[in-house]
């Protein structure tokens, strides 16, 4: 799985958009970008994933650059409950041993009043 | 759907004892994954199992650790002769297929070795 690079921490004011960047310059053509978050010692929570097109769901939007070497997770209106560590993971979505997720150190997002 | 259930939530063991951590996957999920998170660190993959089979154990320590996922019942992560360095949060995840899409994690078991 390709290695990812994320800033260790970010702050965001409540109600504003939180934009979390991720670099994955060695990504392969068949690797997806996944985002998970972990809220204070709970189990990680799936947020969104994509291959090359931008994606949006009820939680967030995922913007992937055209060369796929970086992406940005956007929380459009951050709330205090979005305070968490956000992990960007790049992996092949295929059967068998590729199913494991390789977590880095993530970005600790602090949402403030 | 109750989600991925892990128990116990907290487990305290003395050095040298055995620890058994249980994971019941989501209904309909036949793939189970175990991860370990040391304090202030990210999650580390340990083992991936499908019913009665170990698919990938590349993250499992070579000694004292074992995992199973029997045909009936929960998946078990077993740690024999625990040491202080085994103190960590152990998370289980399940998925419907081996692609890992739709991974769902449990709330974890926090093991403390005293």
- CB of B44 less than 8 A from some CB of A: yes
CA angle B43, A8, A74 (to 5 degrees): 90
| Residue at token pair 């650059």 | A65
Q: Which residues of A touch B56 (CB under 8 A)?
A: 96-97, 99-100
Closest-CA distance, B84 to chain A, in angstroms, reads: 20
For residues A1 and A92, the answer to whether their CB atoms sit within 8 Å is yes
**pLDDT-derived band at B101, boundaries 50, 70, 90:** low
How high is the mean pLDDT in each 10-residue block of chain A (113 residues)?
Answer: 89 97 92 92 90 93 96 97 95 64 92 95
In sequence order, what E strands does B38-87 have? 43-50, 53-56, 65-68, 75-79
Exposure letters A37-58 (e unless 16+ CB within 10 A, then b) = bbeeeebbebbbbbeeeebeee
> Residues near A97 by Cβ (< 8 Å), separated by ≥ 6?
B48, B55, B56, B58
- Please say if the pLDDT value at position B78 is more than 70: yes
For residues B98 and A99, the answer to whether their CB atoms sit within 8 Å is yes
Closest-CA distance, B45 to chain A, in angstroms, reads: 7
3-state secondary structure at position A15:
coil
């Amino acid at each position: 799985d390709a290695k990812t690079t994320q800033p260790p921490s970010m702050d965001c004011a409540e109600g504003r958009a939180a934009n979390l960047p991720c670099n994955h310059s060695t990504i392969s053509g068949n690797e997806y970008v996944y985002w998970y978050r972990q809220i204070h010692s709970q189990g990680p929570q799936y947020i969104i994933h994509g291959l090359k097109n931008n994606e949006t769901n009820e939680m967030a939007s995922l913007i992937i650059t055209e060369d796929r070497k970086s992406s940005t997770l956007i929380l459009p209106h951050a709330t205090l409950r979005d305070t968490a560590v956000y992990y960007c993971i790049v992996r092949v979505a295929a059967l068998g041993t590729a199913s494991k997720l390789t977590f880095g150190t993530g970005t600790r997002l602090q949402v403030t009043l | 759907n109750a989600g991925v259930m892990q128990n116990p939530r907290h487990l305290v063991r003395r050095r040298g004892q055995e620890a058994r951590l249980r994971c019941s996957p989501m209904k309909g999920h036949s793939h189970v994954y175990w991860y370990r998170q040391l304090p202030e660190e990210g999650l580390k993959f340990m083992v991936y199992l499908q019913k009665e089979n170990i698919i990938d154990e590349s993250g499992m320590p070579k000694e004292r650790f074992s995992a199973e996922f029997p045909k009936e019942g929960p998946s078990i992560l077993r740690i024999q002769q625990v040491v202080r360095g085994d103190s960590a949060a152990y998370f289980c995840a399940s998925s419907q297929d081996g692609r890992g899409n739709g991974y769902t994690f449990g709330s974890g078991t926090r093991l403390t070795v005293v």
